[in-house]
Structure 1
Amino acid sequence: MSDFDMDDEDYGLQYSDDSGSEPDVALENQYYAAKALKSEGNQSAALTSFQRVLELETEKGDWGFKALKQMMKLTFSMGRFEQVLTHYKQLLTYIRSAVTKNYAEKSINSILDHISGSKNKELLQKFYQITLDALKEARNERLWFKTNTKLGKLYFDMKEFDKLKQVLKQLRNSCQTESGEDDQKKGTQLLEIYALEIQMYTEQKNNKALQQLYDQSIHVKSAIPHPLIMGTIRECGGKMHLRNAEFDKAHTDFFEAFKNYDESGSSRRILCLKYLVLANM
């Protein structure tokens, strides 16, 4: 369950010495009154009550941010996607100074993870683009990279390869040194990029590009990648070695791919087992 689904009421909140002041108490009371309505299943009244939190704010702060998160949850569950986007745009205006950087990053990550389960590709594209636009000003490179990677994966799913190439170019540029070479200090990010490129070129059957990407991938040292990323890279290597009749190397890569897919819970582990058998024949 993501943070977006949970009630992380105290996470990231910073109370000052005068947190008992009347405006703060009024905001807090209004917020919990709205939550009570939500718990009772009175969604329309809850939305109105959360909106009242925003109206009571004299300046942007934690309670308004939290109210907007709740309003997003409600409108998303109600299928009011345009309203979800409206609330999200408003929430993003809080990330520069109204809430802590860590709280903002955790919240946005969890929101995007939750939204990514939607089958509405147009909605997802808007969410990612709105986030990227907001992050240009916030200068949060880590969150920018994660969001752009999600957008790239969406374009891959949509087979929008020209748009995917543009995203990959941006991601590549963010992981290069001043001399234009891949920054090996950003090994984990580089492997994410390589894996996404491998998926694209596999779909396009560009074996020459796949060979180059695989060679680049195995030379990355300083990285702690997700096992799904390594599964993608090793599967690519296994297929490449199989085409070249390098059966021992193919066996090694398919076995590593299987282990990584198994660890990540990916169903592609079954396919790699079949390739393992083929490499042994």
Structure 2
Amino acid sequence: MSFNDDMFDDGELSVEYSSEDNSEPDVDLENQYYMAKSRKEDNPQHALEEFQKVLDIEASGVKGDWGFRALKQMIKINFKLGNFDVMMDNYKTLLTYIKTAVTRNYSEKSINSILDYVSTSKQMNLLQMFYATTLDALREAKNERLWFKTNTKLGKLYLEQEDYMQLQRIVKELRDSCLTNEGEDDLKKGTQLLEIYALEIQMYTAQKNNKKLKALYEQSLHIKSAIPHPLIMGIIRECGGKMHLREGEYDKSHTDFFEAFKNYDESGCLRRTQCLKYLVLASMLMKSGINPFDSQVRLSLLFSSHQLRSLLQLFRILGVLDQFVNHLSAPYDRNNSYSY
């Protein structure tokens, strides 16, 4: 990835000012920022020195957008150069801007982009330090929404690393943030609760803990006031489909797999193909007149995904159903994993 391939680059239109700020950006800061930015590809070390000058100029006044943007660029360059200690210092400085120097929406987008960028690192210690620093700053800023999103991102990171002990710690923190004063799940936070349930479902699927999976699925049915991402509902409904299939409730299994497929399809998740095969099996087992291939979209999806051979093998499944049902509890294929 080149320095110009910037996942959190600053475009001309990305600057946000509050309605109370009618002043023009300081010309010296702006000129210095763009001069530094023009040099980051050919001479990143020199660019760092020039971005530092933005901060030096800003120091004579108040913290603002140009210093924030300069720090974002410095974080990226130092990450690319492997200067992780300096990068962490830059990031800690950037986090001091989120209370008053830039708008809440702008700071949230920027922090999310930075976290996504550094999460490509394979150094788990660095990532843990990065996330811990972020979470501490968000607690201090009382930004509960971004704190929840950031902790969820960290949970997904532990899931990918199969570090279930740390993941359980994250899940507990997330659950605690969604409790009422009486210690019950706050159903008013339905969207957040469903995100937590989906994260737990992926963990317990990998651990083959069917008892926990059943409890989570049933808990999710009680959440009414929520507008979750379709991928979240896909994960939950697939869990229900597998549970009902294991219990021989093929009608319910068919319904859940169909809903899971629709949600996966809407979110663009690759698991839609795997889920469609489960839907075919459930349809066969319930001996219904429903043709799971009545949609040309679903049929073309199977053929375009080179799944025809796997699909034909389903006709032999009835003779080895017990083995297949056990297979449903196995960890998901990493090549066809959830991504959101």
Q: TM-score, normalised by structure 2?
A: 0.76
Corresponding residue of 2:96: 93
Q: 1:219, 1:3 → 2: CA distance?
A: 38
TM-score normalised according to structure 1 size: 0.90
Mapping for residues 224-235 of structure 1, pairs under 5 Å: 224-235=227-238
Pairing 1:222-261 to 2, within 5 Å after superposition: 222-261=225-264
Query: CA 1:193/1:276 → structure 2, altered by over 3 Å: closer, same or farther?
Result: same
Rg bigger for which structure?
2
SS in 1 for 2:39: helix
SS at the partner of 1:219? Answer: coil
1:231–1:256 CA contact under 8 A, matched in 2: yes
Pick one of 201, 207, 219 that aligns with 1:216: 219
Q: How does 1:90-239 map to 2 (within 5 A)?
A: 90-239=93-242
Q: Counterpart of 1:44?
A: 45
Which structure is higher in helix share?
1
Shift of 1:107: 1.3
The one-letter code sitting in structure 1 at the alignment partner of 2:272 is: R
- How far off is 1:160 after superposition? 1.6
Is 1:27 aligned with 2:29? yes
The worse-fitting range, judged by mean Cα deviation, of 57-66 and 207-216 is: 57-66
CA distance in 1 between partners of 2:276 and 2:74 (Å): 46
Structure 1 counterpart of 2:27, one-letter code: V
Instruction: Give the CA deviation at 1:133.
Output: 1.1
- C-alpha displacement of 1:10: 4.7
Distance 1:211 1:91 in 2: 43
CA contact (8 A) 1:121 1:154 kept: no
Q: Are the structure 2 counterparts of residues 2 and 216 from structure 1 closer, same or farther at C-alpha, using a change threshold of 3 Å?
A: farther
Instruction: State the secondary structure of the residue aligned to 2:228.
Output: coil
Given the superposition, is the C-alpha separation of residues 168 and 71 from structure 1 closer, same or farther in structure 2, using an over 3 Å criterion?
A: same
Residue ranges of structure 2 left out of the alignment (5+ in a row): 286-340
Q: Aligned AA for 2:91? A: Y
Give 5+ residue unaligned stretches, structure 1.
none
Change in Cα spacing, 1:60 to 1:6, as seen in structure 2 (3 Å) is: closer
Give the drift of 1:278.
2.0
Q: CA deviation at 1:117?
A: 3.8
Partner SS for 1:4: coil
Distance 1:224 1:16 in 2: 34
CA distance in 2, matches of 1:200, 1:179: 27
2:35 corresponds to 1:11: no
Q: Distance in 1 between matches of 2:21 and 2:150?
A: 32
Quickly say closer, same or farther: Cα 1:117–1:261, change in 2 above 3 A. farther
Cα RMSD of the aligned pairs, angstroms, is 2.1
Aligned residues: 277
1:185-235, CA deviations, whole angstroms, 9 ceiling, x for partnerless residues?
111101000001111111111111111110111221111111111111011
In 1, Cα distance between the equivalents of 2:12 and 2:185?
Answer: 38
Which stretch has the larger CA shift, 6-15 or 132-141?
6-15
Distance in structure 2 (CA, Å) of the matches to 1:77 and 1:7: 21
The code of the aligned residue for 1:237 comes to: G
Task: Say whether the 8 Å CA contact 1:175–1:183 is kept in structure 2.
Answer: yes
Determine the C-alpha separation between the residues in 2 that align with 1:49 and 1:6: 16
Q: CA deviation at 1:25?
A: 2.8
